[in-house]
Amino acid sequence: MTKKKCTLAVSMMVILLLLCSCKKNNENTKESFSRKDWAIMLSEAYDVDFYFKDEPYYEDVTEDDEIFEIIQAMYEAGILSQGTSKFKPKDKATLGFVISSAVLASGIDYTSYDVNPKKALIKCAKSYKIYEGDASSEELTKPVSKEKANDILQKILKINDL
């Protein structure tokens, strides 16, 4: 009887260990692509890292943060929103954020596409075939994968001949 209980206990532990390791692997494959990740990718592509003001523009990106210089420079270059007090670096990068900041980094004149700046950025991206998918509000607020963000970046760099 004791031998059966021991075998059962060991079997249960092995099954639990297998289940735990599967969960970890599943979580790692679903790692999200953050706003911070996109800011780094975009700033490296366009070499945006020079800034003037030492006081943080966003309350959630301080002088001690590894992306402080990038965020300061992107803010000053007009690539990042100037109408908010938080950058939210850990939030997932949305399709709309990636598209609009890519167009802003490129320097393409988007103002003639619409009187609403957000709509103008998306229409500009569609016109240049930087993004050709659904441009509904629902779609633009969805998280974007690193692969999709890189695809958008490569298209915008091609337009800029970089």
Residues 5 and 75 in one domain: no
Containing 46, the helix (H) or strand (E) segment is helix 35-46
Chain segment 10-68, per-residue pLDDT in tens: 444 434 444 444 443 333 334 689 999 999 999 999 999 999 999 999 999 999 999 99
| Segment 87-97, tens digit of pLDDT | 999 999 999 99
Q: Are 73 and 95 in the same domain?
A: yes
Q: Dump pLDDT digits (tens) for 97-154.
A: 999 999 999 999 999 999 999 999 999 999 999 999 999 999 999 999 999 999 999 9
Residue 145: CB atoms within 10 Å: 14
- Please give the model's pTM, rounded to 2 decimal places: 0.79
Domain that holds residue 40: 33-159
Output the pLDDT for position 106: 96
Q: Quick one: 77 and 20 in the same domain?
A: no
Q: Are 16 and 81 in the same domain? A: no
Do 17 and 87 lie in one domain? The reply is: no
**Tell me, what's the pLDDT at 98?**
98
Let me know whether 127 and 91 are in one domain. Answer: yes
Which residue's structure tokens are 């059962």?
Answer: 8
Are 61 and 8 members of one domain? no
- pLDDT bracket for residue 1 (50, 70, 90): low
CA nearest to 135, candidates 125, 143, 144: 125
Q: Are residues 60 and 40 in the same domain?
A: yes
Sign of CA dihedral 149, 154, 159, 162: positive
What distance in Å separates the CA atoms of residue 146 and residue 32, rounded to the nearest whole number? 8
Structural domain count, the chain: 2
From CA 50, how far away is CA 57, in angstroms rounded?
Answer: 14
State whether 143 and 109 are in the same domain. Answer: yes
